Amino acid sequence: MKLKDLAEKRTELWRLRPHLAPNNEKEIREFIKSAGFCYTYHISRDTIPSLTQTISGTHTPKTHLLFSDTDPFREMLDETFRVYSKQKLFIEVGIFGKHPVIVYRDVFSRLYRIAGKEVRGGSIRRRKRNTNIEKAVLSFLDERGPAGRREIRASVFSNFGKDPGTLTKVLESLSRQLKIIRTRRADEIQIAWLTPEKWNARLCEESSNIDLSETIEYLIIRFLSISIASSRKSLKRFFQHVIPFDIMDYHLNSLIQRGLVVTDTELIIDGKRALKIR
C-alpha cells in the first residue's frame, strides 16, 4: 500500500463522497460507533475522520465552525448532538489536546480506566494537582450537572475575581485531565461541561474492572482500525496526554511481536514504515 492507496481507503472508510455520506442521524451514530474516534471538526494532518466532513461527504474542510443555519446538513448534526443527552452512547472529550474528539462509549470507558478518578490501582500518569479555582469548578459541576460557560462564570468566578481568559484555561486544563467532558444541551445545542460521573456513572464504575494492559492495547488497535495505517510517531502524538511514551512503546512492541500489529512494507509515514492491524 502506498500513500495514494491509503488516501483512497480513508476516503471510503470515512465516507468522504456524497454517495457514501450518512443520510440520517442513525447512520451518523453507527459511523461514530464503528470509528471509535472522530474529530468534531476538520483537523489538518488528520489521521482520524471528522464528523462534519463525514456528514457532508466531502474533503472540504469545516474548520472550527459548525454548518451554517441554512446548510442542509445542520439538522442531522443537531440531532446527532442531541443523542449526547438522550442515549449516552458517545461524548466529546478534550484529553487528546485542544481539538475536541468524539469517542464512542467503549473508547470512553478505556480512557476513564486510565485517567478517571475512581480507577482501581491509580492512573498510569501522575495526576495533576488542581488549583483552588479548578476545584471550585469541579465542585460546582458535580453538584449542578451540565453547565455552560456563562453559568460557571456567574456561580464560581464571582468568588475569585478572575478575568474571562482564566475560565478558558481552567476548562482546557480540566478537559485535558478528563475531569470534565463536553456535551450539547438537547434543547438548544449549546456547549456545556459536566463531570464524567454525572454523564454516565455506571460506565465510569464498570471501567474500573477493565484490565489496564487490555485497555492500552484496545485503544491502539481501535485507533489503527480507523486510521487504517499510522506511524509510531503519530500514535504517540495522538495519545501523548493519555499514555506515556515508554508505556506506549512497550504495548505497541508487544502487539507487533504477537502479530496483531504489522509493518506495511511499502507505506512510509513520518519517514518510517507505517503500522497497521493485520
pLDDT, residue 121, reads 44
* pLDDT higher than threshold 60 for residue 62: no
Is the pLDDT at 71 greater than 90? The verdict is no
pLDDT (mean) for 63-81: 64
What are the DSSP calls for 160-210, one per residue?
TT--HHHHHHHHHHHHHTTSSEEEE-TTT--EEEE-HHHH-HHHHHHHTTS
Positive or negative, the Cα torsion across 271, 277, 257, 240? positive
Across the chain, mean pLDDT equals 84
Among 94-103, 152-161, 198-207, the least confident range: 152-161
d(CA 1, CA 16): 20
Give the best-scoring range by mean pLDDT among 43-47, 149-153, 250-254, 268-272. 250-254
pLDDT for 8: 93
Domains of the chain in start order, with CATH, are 109-207 (1.10.10.10), 211-278 (1.10.10.10)
**Position 160 pLDDT exceeds 80:** no
| Strand ranges, E, within the chain | 37-39, 90-93, 101-104, 181-184, 191-194, 261-269, 272-277
What tens digit of pLDDT does each residue of 96-132 get? 988 889 999 999 999 999 987 644 444 565 566 778 8
Q: What per-residue confidence (pLDDT) applies to 161?
A: 61
pTM (2 decimals)?
Answer: 0.88
Find where cell 484496545 sits.
218
- pLDDT at 148 (0 to 100): 87
| Mean pLDDT score, 192-211 | 91
pLDDT at residue number 219? 96
Beta pairing class for 261-269 and 181-184: unpaired
Q: What is the pLDDT of residue 187?
A: 53
- Res 259 pLDDT > 90: yes
